[in-house]
Amino acid sequence: MKRFYVYIMTNRSHTLYTGVTSNLQRRVYEHKHTMLPAFTSKYRIDQLVYYEETPDARSALEREKQIKGWLRSKKIALVEAMNPQWQDLSVAWREDESPRRPE
């Protein structure tokens, strides 16, 4: 069964980026290695601070759109409810492994 994720990434300045993917580890790897030109590369968005799994692509896209429509303060509250220290949730993933789904 395919999984889909809505995620929030940030940088040292706490600039927020919300995205959706079917392979969270691969997508985070792409952000961390600036393989995605545009916003995330420009602002060095490289820390995964929040994610949630959804049952299908449609739910993931709806949730992403919902979160993107929120005020910054509400997004921060969402992150802090799951990750009060704003730790990079992808730190446990080994850099030398090829990207795969988080367990």
Any domain includes 87? no
Any domain includes 97? no
pLDDT at 36: 75
Task: Express each pLDDT in 12-55 by its tens digit.
Answer: 999 999 999 999 999 999 888 888 778 877 888 899 999 999 99
What pTM was estimated for this model as a whole? 0.87
Which domain range does residue 38 map to?
A: 4-82
* Residue 10 contacts residue 83 (beta carbons within 8 Å): no
From residue 21, alpha-carbon distances to 24, 33, 69, 94 in Å are 6, 17, 18, 20
Any domain includes 101? no
* CATH number (domain holding residue 26): 3.40.1440.10
Total domains present in the chain: 1
Provide the 10 A C-beta neighbour count for residue 48: 25
Task: Express each pLDDT in 59-90 by its tens digit.
Answer: 999 999 999 999 999 999 999 999 999 999 99
